[in-house]
Structure 1
């Protein structure tokens, strides 16, 4: 990467802002363009680190582990919105824990007395929880400190982001039309934010491919309750019936939540495809487009690993860029 090279990042969700930070701190002149800043779907995330239901596995494992390293570092700073939190993931069908869970600190199988009624197996571990509104604001501050700029604007095509020799496409579901990518589809997610009745640990059910999820993530004075995963739906209006279901499922596991006051509804459309797309494309006009989208519900989990991958693709492209390593630890402040 040539020092000061102009790079336009399209999209201001967690993928876009993380990519912008990595590139700006590596010396690029970064300009972010997005209709919503921060992006609505990223704001709606719970969010707990975990590479779940996303492919390709080999790359996902690598991207996820790199992101985990960074989140552990960020958890040392209370202003980032990242905290290391202990909790339980449980199953009603005695499913074996995923490989990634067994490597986390404090991992152990739960005793039967630790599990809520109706659950047959579970495991405990410590993992980063991310308070997304706080965390996305942290990324924006960090981008500004690195000299990056942000413009709120809707694009009709990626070409509208020019003139720029490099465009980083982090448009999430918007890539359906902007690329275009017909393989991309929405999976609608809904969370309910309530007052915290005293919870300090998370709980998550392994629900597989069910459209009805069960999880709660405490963030200080609030708890994010989930959730839904409605494949093929991208409507961002609040579904009252889904709200009732979320509150009921969570209160059944943690009765204290029955008296919690509802503060907010958060709805997003997870941008999902058969495999996450992180790759370079040279367009006919010479513009280098770095694609970084299609993370489904793992956008936060993969964010730093994918951002660094995109930066390395830029470093490897072209004779005048090949000699410079764009990779820099994103945990720097």
Structure 2
């Protein structure tokens, strides 16, 4: 029986997660992943990779919870396995602090991480400008290790990769189904004008004495210790497409982070990084049908996760797999999936 040819566009954490899910779950499909850039040159590679989420306005909350839970459970199983150091996945404990009490004291993901609680007055004394905090244990997934690990897993599942730029879906005319995980590339590939850049700049510092993460609820200031150095940041600059380092941003990051963690005064800056998060009001995860060189081809869109790509990648990949199954049944009702 002829195998169905599926192509996944994009080699970031969203793309590789989707590719692995399809390749491992649908042996009747031949899966190819196509991208211009692979690790260590993707936006995902610079992500701090800590798991918690924003709430998107127009997506049912139960669906968002499922995305988060599926991602968390997937990465937790890796963190508890012998693969943890090779995959770059670890448990991470710390706190999120707020200058004012937030309207929602317990976010939807509070029951999905480990040990979520409100911080005591004694704990908050360390942060005199902040009046409220949440302490919990979550996961940290470092894509500089995780992406090569997913890449190997994809190849073991029989997947193939091609490194090339895709400027139009017409260039994918030889495939039966397209999974679009092209991030900012969807501005062109999907003609989606709502996709925009949110510029992020972070620093990697050597500070092995810092063992717990701290995140300001403003979403711009954070300290995330990792396997090899701590990531501190950051910036959230909407519609900013600059990839050059901004030394004013560097100075601002150091100043804000030292305010939360004075011991960073003694930390050595190891590297500086800039990335463009592929953002939109809500991630797009849905079926579509497009005309590719005169032929109707099903497309599953999976992009626009902004700064939450690592957090949601596996859960969205599981969801995308379901949409791939549905699409294939529609074009070939007799197919065994």
TM over 0.5: yes
Residue 108 of structure 2 corresponds to which residue in structure 1? 99
Q: Which residue of the partner structure matches residue 65 of structure 1?
A: 69
Q: Is the 8 A contact 1:196 1:222 kept in 2?
A: yes
Structure 2 unaligned blocks of 5 or more: none
Instruction: Give distance in 2, aligned partners of 1:144 and 1:68.
Output: 24
Matched residue SS, 1:181: coil
Q: Tell me the TM-score normalised to structure 1 length.
A: 0.91
Q: Is the 8 A contact 1:84 1:126 kept in 2?
A: yes
TM-score normalised to structure 2 length: 0.90
Residue 126 of structure 2 is aligned to residue 110 of structure 1: no
Counterparts of 1:293 and 1:9, CA distance in 2: 12
Residue 134 of structure 2 is matched in structure 1 by 123
Q: CA deviation at 1:291?
A: 0.6
Contact in 1 for aligned 2:96/2:215 (Cα 8 Å): yes
Task: Find the aligned partners of 1:215 and 1:153 in 2 and give their Cα distance.
Answer: 35
Contact 2:225 2:231 in 1 (8 A): yes
Return the alpha-carbon distance in structure 2 between the equivalents of residues 322 and 46 of structure 1: 44
Confirm or deny that 1:192 pairs with 2:199.
Answer: no
In structure 2, the partner of 1:30 is 31
1:164 is aligned, of 175, 192, 197, to 175
Question: Hey, what's the Cα distance between the residues in 2 that align with 1:322 and 1:297?
Answer: 40
Residue in structure 2 matched with residue 43 of structure 1 by the alignment: 45
Contact (CA 8 Å) 1:34, 1:151: kept in 2 or not?
yes
Match of 1:311 in 2: 321
**Per-residue CA distance 1:60-88 (angstroms, 9 max, x = gap):** 22211111111111112322111111111
Deviation at 1:112, TM superposition (A): 2.2
Counterpart Cα distance in 2 of 1:290 and 1:192 = 35
Which of 227, 248, 257 is equivalent to 2:264? 257
Are 1:299 and 2:309 counterparts? Answer: yes
Q: How big is each residue's C-alpha offset from its partner over 1:146-168, in whole Å with a ceiling of 9 and x where there is no partner?
A: 12122111112122123101111
Partners of 1:221 and 1:16 lie apart in 2 by 25
Structure 1 residues without counterparts, runs of 5 or longer:
326-333
Report what 1:231 is aligned to.
238
1:134-213 equivalent positions in 2, closer than 5 A: 134-207=145-218, 213=220
Which position in structure 2 is the counterpart of 1:331? none
Q: Show CA shifts across 1:76-114 (max 9, x none).
A: 232211111111111111222423125422112112232
Shift of 1:218: 0.8
Corresponding residue pairs, total: 320
Aligned residue among 241, 244, 247 for 2:251: 244
In the TM superposition, residue 177 of structure 1 has moved relative to its aligned partner by 1.1
Instruction: Provide, for residues 253-293 of structure 1, a one-character-per-residue CA deviation record: whole Å limited to 9, x for no partner.
Output: 11221221111122211111122111111223121111100
Per-residue deviation, 1:322: 7.0
Q: 3-state DSSP class of the match of 1:233?
A: coil
Is contact 2:11–2:42 with CA below 8 Å preserved after alignment?
Answer: no
| 1: CA distance, partners of 2:178 / 2:326 | 15
* CA drift at 1:180: 0.8
Q: Contact conserved, 2:88 with 2:227, CA < 8 A, in 1?
A: no
